[in-house]
Structure 1
Amino acid sequence: MDTVAEIAVEVLKFVTPALFGLLGIKLVLDHQRKKDRQGQFDKIATTTLKETLPLRLSAYERVILFLERIKPPQLVGRVAPHPEQTPAQYQLALIASIREEFEHNIAQQVYISHQAWVGVMLARDETIAMLRAICQAMPEGASVRQYQEAILKHCNDPKDIPSYKAIFMLKGEVSRILIPQAQAQ
């Protein structure tokens, strides 16, 4: 019986270090595989970022351009009234222009943050509400010219223009996107 125990001890003397060696090799290989996968992920992420950054910046530019174009003073300068048009009819033409601009830029939401897109929609809706409120406040028989003047007067302070806040927010997001890019170079 002593010989079986002695043989077992002798076998364990050789097997135990071999098992620890194999375990060590397995741990090193697992760590290396994990490191390689992370490196591949980082490479893909960097490549994706380099490819999507121009698209994202272009989307922010287009959305800011949209917000600039729907500012009431710009709308009044761009959308010419037709002869004999009433303020209510002109208001509908202004709103149609806003909606057309929005539909033209709707795909940009894919490239900007959800919060930014909500800000854009809010600016659009508030601008439409402002145009409606100014039109409803016009006296009976007012001309389109008077309506245009009322719009311009209402927008004397840029902070009264709904697009102002949304543009400010978008510029902040673009800065946050560009700062890490500048630091990476």
Structure 2
Amino acid sequence: MTGLIEYLPYAFALIIAIPFLVLLRQFVYSYINLKNQELKLLGVKSNSENKTHSYERMTLFLDRIKPSNLIQKFDKDLAVHEFIYLTERSITEEFEYNASQQLYITKNSWKNIADSKTAVIELLHKTYSSMSDNATLSDFKTVFLMNYMGENDYVSETIEDLRKEIILIA
């Protein structure tokens, strides 16, 4: 019996420590779960921000390739073929610069953006081939705008589709 009395303080300490250790374990486990949830939310938020940023960049790109904005670019003293070359190069470079945005945009929207880019470039060439060789840049720009206005406004439609998609995402 005297042997058991010697171990009594240890048993008492053990009885007090076990509930404390169980509570500590539950606290640490809950804390880790909350931190994991926080990291997941930050990941979702970051992804959502990337998508929003992508839609903004591609809307800006589409706005820049609208013929009404394209005709204001570059020097007025250029020849028509120089204007077409510089405009096409500018559109292509900006499109390639933004190519990584397709990771965050739906396939359909990306296809519409690429189709809009291609259609504007084709309209530039179609307008040029329909004009006489001695046409001025001012004449070209006027005919280019008229041709665009005579067709379906595919750039604005693509921008509107992007607006609808971003509303669904947000």
On whether the aligned pair clears a TM of 0.5, the verdict is: yes
Q: Distance in 2 between matches of 1:153 and 1:79?
A: 20
1:60-79 superposed matches below 5 A:
60-79=55-74
Kindly report structure 1 stretches of 4+ aligned residues shifted beyond 4 Å: none
Q: 8 Å contact 2:67–2:120 — kept in the other structure?
A: yes
Structure 1 residue identity aligned to 2:43: T
Instruction: Mark the runs of 5 or more structure 2 residues left unpaired by the alignment.
Output: 1-32
- Count matched residues: 136
Q: 8 Å contact 1:72–1:155 — kept in the other structure?
A: yes
- TM superposition shift of 1:162: 2.9
Q: 8 Å contact 2:123–2:148 — kept in the other structure?
A: no
- TM superposition shift of 1:89: 2.5
1:82-93 superposed matches below 5 A:
83=77, 85-93=78-86
Please provide the CA RMSD for this pair: 2.2
1:55-101 CA-to-partner distances (Å, cap 9, x unmatched) read 110110000000000111101112334x3x43222211111111121
Partner SS state of residue 105, structure 2: coil
Q: Distance in 2 between matches of 1:135 and 1:156?
A: 16
Q: Distance in 2 between matches of 1:165 and 1:127?
A: 14
Find the counterpart in structure 2 of residue 142 from structure 1. Answer: 135
Provide TM-score, normalisation by structure 2.
0.71
Structure 2 residue identity aligned to 1:99: T
Q: Distance in 1 between matches of 2:144 and 2:93?
A: 20
1:85-140 CA-to-partner distances (Å, cap 9, x unmatched) read 43222211111111121122111111111111111111101111111111111123
- TM superposition shift of 1:45: 5.1
Provide TM-score, normalisation by structure 1.
0.66
Partner SS state of residue 80, structure 1: coil
Find the counterpart in structure 2 of residue 168 from structure 1. Answer: 160
Q: 8 Å contact 2:63–2:69 — kept in the other structure?
A: yes
Instruction: Mark the runs of 5 or more structure 1 residues left unpaired by the alignment.
Output: 1-38, 179-185
Structure 1 residue corresponding to 2:121, chosen from 125, 128, 133: 128
Q: Percent identity?
A: 24
